[in-house]
């Protein structure tokens, strides 16, 4: 089979199975098998695939038909313009979380006027996407990245080593803020916030493959956020910031929860590109 036929056949198979963006997914799978970029795929349409390449592609397409996320099949995903290693032990970073990273970087510029070294805690770091994006963007930042999941932290460690930030990003296993031994200047967190009743509506890609511990937020989705607020005392310097990612429609509930713990804090909701309130920004 030649490359253009393989691409067309994979696209059709994925399309028939109802996979959204079938042609993009087919390009990713074929590009991975052949070690080619998207552009290369279209500049060598007549290239013959070997038998091994053809059966490798078929195996990957079958995995995708079983609804395994492409990021887990390829063991990589892109976040904030950076490529991360990811496997089924860690949540796949989502584009909407980039809003939180952008906001954190803006706040650090503000903090940098009064401090040389900025200490940041990334709570529930998963594959380390937020922590590493911040470490690469802010050379004077020292980051404590916590997660309850030892296997997620192993994924984060691969990424920290790959980007050479393992001296500035300290990975700590434990419950939310508990592993922090001293107060930091900023806390950022994308904690699990899916409500129990929303699980039945999740796609098979999420429900069957992503770690449940990365998703489940309890009855109202706010269990982890609530628990983190309970732990906050002594973990954030006064005048410090915290940024929380939230789910659609959770803005009002989280705002009132935060103000019940910190009545004098300034609280703002920041929308994502789709106009959905996505980040709660709190200044203590
Ligand atoms: C939604 S994922 C976010 C991962 C990553 N920060 C990102 O944005 O891609 C939530 C993460 O919180 C972690 N987590 C869940 N419960 C936790 C707890 N009690 N303490 C620390 N981390 C927790 C999960 O293991 C998971 O890695």
Residue-wise pLDDT tens digits, 115-154: 889 999 999 999 999 999 999 999 999 999 999 999 999 9
| Residues 226-277: tens digit of each pLDDT | 999 999 999 998 889 999 999 999 999 999 999 999 999 999 999 999 999 9
What confidence score (pLDDT) does residue 61 get? 98
Residues at CB less than 6 angstroms from ligand 1: 91, 93, 97, 124-126, 129-130, 146-149, 152, 175-176, 190-192, 213-214, 224
Residue found under tokens 């313009």: 81
d(CA 85, CA 78): 9
d(CA 174, CA 167): 19
| Residues 224-233: tens digit of each pLDDT | 999 999 999 9
Ligand 1 centre to CA of 147 (Å) is: 6
What confidence score (pLDDT) does residue 237 get? 85
What confidence score (pLDDT) does residue 93 get? 98
Q: What are phi and psi of 225, to 5 degrees?
A: -65, -45
| Residue 223 reports pLDDT greater than 90 | yes
Mutation pick for ligand 1 pocket among 79, 91, 104 (CB with most ligand atoms within 8 Å): 91
d(CA 171, CA 153): 7
d(CA 262, CA 204): 39
Longest dimension (CA), the chain: 67
* Burial track 257-279 (b if 16+ CB lie within 10 A, e otherwise): bbeeebeeeeeebbebeeeebbb
d(CA 181, CA 192): 23
| Residues 184-194: tens digit of each pLDDT | 999 999 999 99
Residue found under tokens 């609804």: 67
| Residues 48-86: tens digit of each pLDDT | 999 999 999 999 999 999 999 999 999 999 999 999 999
Residue closest by Cα to atom 17 of ligand 1: 148
User: What Cα–Cα distance (Å) separates residue 156 from each residue in 87, 137, 142, 180?
Assistant: 10, 17, 16, 18
Residue closest by Cα to atom 6 of ligand 1: 125
For residue 189, the ligand 1 atom closest to its alpha carbon is: 6
- Of the listed ranges 106-115, 239-248, 274-283, the least confidently predicted one is 106-115
| Residues 160-214: tens digit of each pLDDT | 999 999 999 999 999 999 999 999 999 999 999 999 999 999 999 999 999 999 9
Domain 3-66 has CATH 1.10.8: yes
Ligand 1 centre to CA of 156 (Å) is: 12
By C-alpha distance, which of 90, 72, 88 is closest to 131? 90
d(CA 240, CA 238): 5
d(CA 251, CA 146): 24
What H or E segment, with its residue span, contains residue 53?
Answer: helix 51-65
| Residue 6 reports pLDDT greater than 90 | yes
In words, the CATH class of domain 77-283 is alpha beta
Residue closest by Cα to atom 7 of ligand 1: 93
What confidence score (pLDDT) does residue 73 get? 98
What confidence score (pLDDT) does residue 9 get? 98
Say if residues 200 and 223 touch (Cβ distance below 8 Å): no
Domain-wise residue ranges, the chain:
3-66, 77-283
CA angle 159, 26, 55 (to 5 degrees): 90
| Residue 109 reports pLDDT greater than 90 | no
By C-alpha distance, which of 231, 227, 207, 209 is closest to 218? 227
| Residue 112 reports pLDDT greater than 90 | no
For residue 193, the ligand 1 atom closest to its alpha carbon is: 1
């Amino acid at each position: 089979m030649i490359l253009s036929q393989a691409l067309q056949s994979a696209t059709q198979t994925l399309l028939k199975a109802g996979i959204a963006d079938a042609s993009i997914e087919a390009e990713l799978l074929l590009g991975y098998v052949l070690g080619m970029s998207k552009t290369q795929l279209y500049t060598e349409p007549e290239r013959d695939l070997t038998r091994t390449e053809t059966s490798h592609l078929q195996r990957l397409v079958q995995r995708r038909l079983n609804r395994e996320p492409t990021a887990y099949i390829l063991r990589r995903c892109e976040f904030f313009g950076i490529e991360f290693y990811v496997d089924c032990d860690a949540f796949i970073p989502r584009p909407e979380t980039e809003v939180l990273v952008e906001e954190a970087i803006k706040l650090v510029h503000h903090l940098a006027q009064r401090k040389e070294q900025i200490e940041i805690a990334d709570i529930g770091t998963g594959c380390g996407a937020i922590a590493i994006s911040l470490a690469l963007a802010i050379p004077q930042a020292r980051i404590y990245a916590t997660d309850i999941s030892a296997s997620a932290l192993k994924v984060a460690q691969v990424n920290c080593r790959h980007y050479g930030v393992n001296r500035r990003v300290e990975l700590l296993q434990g419950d939310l803020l508990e592993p922090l031994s001293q107060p930091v200047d900023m806390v950022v967190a994308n904690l699990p916030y899916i409500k129990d009743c929303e699980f039945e509506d999740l796609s098979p890609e999420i429900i069957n493959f992503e770690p449940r511990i990365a998703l489940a937020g309890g009855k109202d989705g706010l269990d982890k956020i609530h628990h983190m607020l309970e732990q906050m005392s002594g973990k954030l310097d006064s005048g410090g910031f915290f940024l929380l990612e939230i789910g659609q429609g959770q803005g009002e509930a989280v705002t009132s929860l935060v103000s019940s713990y910190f009545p004098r804090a300034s609280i703002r909701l920041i929308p994502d590109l789709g106009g959905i309130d996505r980040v709660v920004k709190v200044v203590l």
